[in-house]
Amino acid sequence: MNNAELIPNLFRSEYSKLVAVICYKFGFDFVEQAEDIVSDTFLKASETWGIKGIPDNPTGWLYTVAKNNATDYFRRRNIYDSKILPDLKEETNQFEIDISKENILDSQLKMIFVVCDPINHIESQIVLALRILCGFGITEISNSLLISTANTNKKLYRAKQNLKNMNVVDFELTPDLINGRLDSVLRVLYLLFNEGYYSSNENYDIRKDICFEAMRLLYILINNKSTNTHKTNSLMALFCFHVSRFDARISKEGEFILYEDQDKTKWDLELINKGIHFLMKAGTNNTSDYSYEARIAYWHCQKDVDENRKWSSILQLYNSLLRHKYTPIAALNRTYALSKVKGNSIALAEAKKLNLEDNFFYNCLLIELAETETEKRKHFSKAIKLTKNKASKNILTKKYSRFIN
């Protein structure tokens, strides 16, 4: 590990785990205290390691110090405030935090389910996930989601308050709870991933980080028998296929690269194979929207295949996806696939029925499909007007000038 990056890397990988084990022990009511304790531990690390040098096992050091900090904190608290956890007074070792690998994994899994409680609005769940599950700072969250820091703080505060009211101290991951909530959990991870993959954020590193974090959290669900379902595997397949093209799709400057212009040698073949593995595990009879999306993403990762076969398959998958669940973006992508299979004029006729004239992507699609120059020009200027994202605007303007010349 590069020493210059040591603390940021450890922070990323260990912060959320430490918060999770402490909460697991003392309850979600203490999530703020847990965050304080862990932040304090990192502060102590930066001082101590700066003075004395880096220990042989930095991670172990963090766990020991966090554990001691937490033990001290709760013991003190118990003396001053005997109303809280009164029956723990007798046995001091009850304050001990279990930092075995197994307990860390259990705590993280439980924490994922607490954070994805549908009592909170989905946006707040994402903010909470970034903070508590991924260890992002307030500024980082604001930058990632393009919202103000004040707004981030407000969302976090309310979301935590809501969870406290739920009395999650007794929160247990029962099979019923897992069955009832797994869908919401997967939804949050899906949206979290999309935040990185599709966001208009121009920062390449933040975006990649978010995608990897979503993948890491989903991996915890894959590794647990009770949460390793067809849907979980479908979603993982989707993540693998998408991430395999990440570097081909976005330049280091944060600009989107159009599919036809992408350098296919940058595709990560190992991830594509992993995606296929998860897709197999999910089974092809599974009709969740993740499964359709994963199978579409699979086709997008195929080089040297018959174009006609590829686009026909993609069109059928979009048809099925839309019949299962409508989204504007799926409707537009379906129309693009339709143009590849049946030609532009049929696709154009269907596009006009979509009722999405004010959608940015609709206008991008119509630039491709429109039959006259005047029409194309109209959609160019409308699309440019509709996007606030500098990267997309750049691509369009470039394309527009190419078109005019």
Q: Which residue, chain included where needed, has tokens 């991924």?
A: 134
- Told to check if 309 binds other proteins by CB under 8 A, we report no
Q: Is 310 among the residues that bind other proteins (CB under 8 A)?
A: no
Q: How many CB atoms lie within 10 A of CB 320?
A: 15
Cα–Cα distance, 136 to 61 (Å, whole number): 22
Q: Is 7 in the site for other proteins (CB under 8 A)?
A: no
Pattern of binders to other proteins over 186-205, x per CB under 8 A? Answer: --------------------
Say whether residue 222 binds other proteins (CB under 8 A). no
Q: Which of 209, 247, 350, 375 binds other proteins (CB under 8 A)?
A: 350
Beta-carbon contacts of 183 under 8 Å, excluding residues fewer than 6 positions away, are: 231
Cβ atoms 61, 143 nearer than 8 A: no
Question: Measured between alpha carbons, how far is 222 from 236 in angstroms, rounded to an integer?
Answer: 8
Restricting to residues 355-384, which ones interact with other proteins according to CB under 8 A?
355
Name which position in 33, 316, 344, 394 contacts other proteins (CB under 8 A). 316
Torsion angle of C-alpha atoms 335, 339, 344, 349, degrees rounded to 10: -30
Number of residues binding to other proteins, judged by CB under 8 A:
18
In the region spanning residues 329 to 348, those forming contacts with other proteins, defined by CB under 8 A, are 330-331, 334-335, 338
Nearest CA-CA partner of 317 in 302, 347, 345, 337: 337
**Position among 94, 184, 228, 320 found at the interface with other proteins (CB under 8 A):** 320
Selected from 73, 239, 318, 362, the binder of other proteins by CB under 8 A is: 318
Least CB distance from residue 24 to other proteins, whole Å? 43
Q: What b-and-e string marks burial along 269-284, b requiring 16 or more CB atoms within 10 Å of the CB? A: eebbebbbebbeebee
Nearer to other proteins, 159 or 338 (CB): 338
Residue with tokens 């992507």: 361
Contact positions vs other proteins (CB under 8 A): 312, 315-316, 318-320, 322-323, 326, 330-331, 334-335, 338, 350, 353-355
